[in-house]
């Protein structure tokens, strides 16, 4: 695309202005990429210079149905004209419909709506304390469950935790991930719940041994401990099944959801089985399950079904990982993943790869320093995957 000289100069000035305002007015908590994004469609995003990128970040495993899925856009538009928010003092049809749809796709029985992953984890922890009458938690090393003071208490990484200690729950025991004996030893009379991601995301796309989650389920049953799965990142087709738990054949007592739930719109949820649940007045959230978020989430679930995105995730994931493993590069330690949740562990910090890829039209991000995490929209095409692999190979 040719741009007249003045035009591109203006755009560059606009970029600079955005970045200047950000550095002046926004708390500098994010190490941002030097990109000003303005549009997206499917697996592609555009910056304000109209340069296109294949998006292997997808808003951090949020845009599973692709950017601005027409079904989600239409649902948001239509709902916004009718009713945006009314509080949970009243019923709305759309919230009831979404609850039914969520129960159907998760295999869980009841749901509580909130607004983010951390809020879902906070609620899950409160609920575990409420129903067990116990207060301690067992969580895994390299876990990530959110940044609020409660969810941080079960998040492992020092740089996230240390400045904010002591934790709310001083009784959290962190155990090595995928180590059954460690769980058995860590559970005490005061353990309310074991909290695990079925695949660790921020911790580096870590996949447990096939029998691990089943064994943990057994130990929890034997000891009367609740099992909480944090499927905030692994949910909604990301790993090649609707939810990752299906691949391990294990049902948790409580499961937290967020990220992809709203097709890009902010939402979170706690789902439970059996008689586990909050009673009247025991938990609340002003915005939780507001009509606009529910409309987006319902449309997103319908889009995943209609476009067969769970199948796409599985097939494209297999294709993607096959190509990545075929690269046989010396600097690659391991390619691992399930569906379209893929980690490439390399021998050195991966920020240079992220820069190179961006300059060549691919958005990537880096978790735990040396793992490139690829979590593209599930609608990514084989051609787009080929392009990403080419760029990675050059990098």
Residue 287 C-beta: closest distance to ligand PLP, Å: 13
Binding residue (CB under 6 A) for ligand PLP from 53, 112, 144, 243: 144
**Which residues 234-263 are close enough to bind ligand PLP by CB under 6 A?**
258-259
> Does residue 232 touch ligand PLP according to CB under 6 A?
yes
Please provide the DSSP assignment of 216-264 as one string.
HHHHHHHHT-EEEEE-TTTTTTTTSSSSTHHHHT---SEEEE-GGGGTT
Comparing CA positions, the residue from 259, 324, 276, 279 lying closest to residue 65 is 259
Q: How far apart are CA 148 and CA 128, in angstroms?
A: 17
Encoded one letter per residue, x for contact with ligand PLP by CB under 6 A and - for no contact, window 96-125 reads --------------------xxx--x----
Near ligand PLP in 20-79, by CB under 6 A: none
Of 197 and 253, which has the nearer Cβ to ligand PLP?
A: 197
Q: Using CB under 6 A, pick the residue from 146, 204, 237, 376 that binds ligand PLP.
A: 146
Nearest CB to ligand PLP, comparing residues 151 and 370: 151
Specify the residue, 258 or 335, whose C-beta has the smaller distance to ligand PLP: 258
Query: Which residue in the set 67, 134, 145, 238 belongs to the binding site for ligand PLP (CB under 6 A)?
Result: 145
Please, which residues bridge with residue 195 across strands? 139, 228
Q: How far is the CB of 61 from ligand PLP (least distance, A)?
A: 7
Q: What DSSP character marks residue 171? A: T
Sorted by sequence, the CB contacts under 8 Å of residue 230 that are 6+ apart come out as 117, 121, 124, 143, 145, 195, 196, 197, 255, 256
Helix/strand/coil percentages in the chain, nearest 5: 40, 20, 40
> Residues 367, 57: contact at Cβ < 8 Å?
no
Compare residues 75 and 121 and give the one whose CB is closer to ligand PLP.
Answer: 121
203 binds ligand PLP (CB under 6 A): no
- Binding of residue 391 to ligand PLP (CB under 6 A): no
Least separation, in Å, of the C-beta of 227 and ligand PLP? 15
Please provide residue 208's backbone torsions phi and psi, each rounded to the nearest 5 degrees. Answer: -75, 165
| Distance of alpha carbon 36 from alpha carbon 170, whole angstroms | 41
State the residues that interact with ligand PLP by CB under 6 A. Answer: 116-118, 121, 144-146, 197, 201-202, 230, 232-233, 258-259
């Amino acid at each position: 695309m040719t741009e007249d000289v003045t035009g591109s100069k203006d755009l560059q000035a606009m970029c600079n202005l955005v970045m200047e305002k950000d550095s002046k007015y926004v708390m500098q908590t994010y190490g941002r990429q030097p990109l000003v994004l303005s549009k997206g469609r499917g697996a592609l995003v555009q910056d304000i210079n109209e340069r296109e990128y294949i998006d292997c970040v997808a808003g951090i495993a949020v845009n599973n149905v692709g950017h601005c899925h027409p079904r989600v856009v239409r649902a948001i538009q239509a709902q916004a004209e009718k009713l945006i928010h009314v509080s949970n003092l009243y019923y709305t049809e759309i919230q009831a419909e979404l609850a039914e749809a969520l129960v159907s796709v998760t295999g869980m029985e009841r749901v509580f709506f909130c607004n983010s992953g951390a809020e879902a984890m906070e609620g899950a922890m409160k609920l575990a304390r409420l129903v067990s009458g116990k207060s301690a938690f067992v969580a895994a090393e390299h876990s990530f469950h959110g940044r609020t003071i409660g969810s941080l208490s079960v998040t492992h990484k020092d740089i996230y935790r240390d400045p904010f200690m002591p934790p709310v729950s001083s009784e959290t025991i962190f155990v090595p991930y995928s180590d059954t004996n460690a769980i058995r030893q860590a559970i005490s009379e005061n353990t309310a719940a074991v909290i695990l991601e079925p695949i660790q995301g921020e911790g580096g796309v870590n996949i447990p041994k096939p029998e691990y989650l089943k064994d943990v389920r057994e130990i929890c049953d034997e000891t009367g401990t609740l099992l909480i799965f944090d499927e905030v990142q692994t949910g909604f087709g990301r790993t090649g099944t609707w939810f990752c738990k299906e691949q391990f054949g294990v049902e948790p007592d409580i499961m937290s959801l967020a990220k992809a739930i709203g097709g890009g719109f902010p939402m979170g949820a706690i789902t439970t089985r059996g008689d586990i649940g909050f009673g009247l007045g025991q938990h609340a959230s002003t915005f939780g399950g507001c009509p606009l978020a529910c409309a987006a989430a319902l449309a997103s679930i319908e889009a995943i079904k209609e476009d067969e995105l769970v199948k796409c995730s599985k097939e494209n994931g297999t294709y993607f990982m096959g190509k990545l493993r075929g690269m046989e590069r010396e600097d690659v330690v391991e390619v691992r993943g399930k569906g379209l949740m893929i980690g490439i562990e390399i021998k050195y910090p991966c920020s240079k790869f992220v820069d190179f890829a961006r300059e060549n039209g691919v958005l990537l991000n880096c978790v735990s320093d040396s793992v490139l995490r690829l979590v593209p929209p599930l609608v990514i095409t084989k051609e787009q995957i080929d392009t990403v692999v080419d760029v990675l190979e050059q990098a």
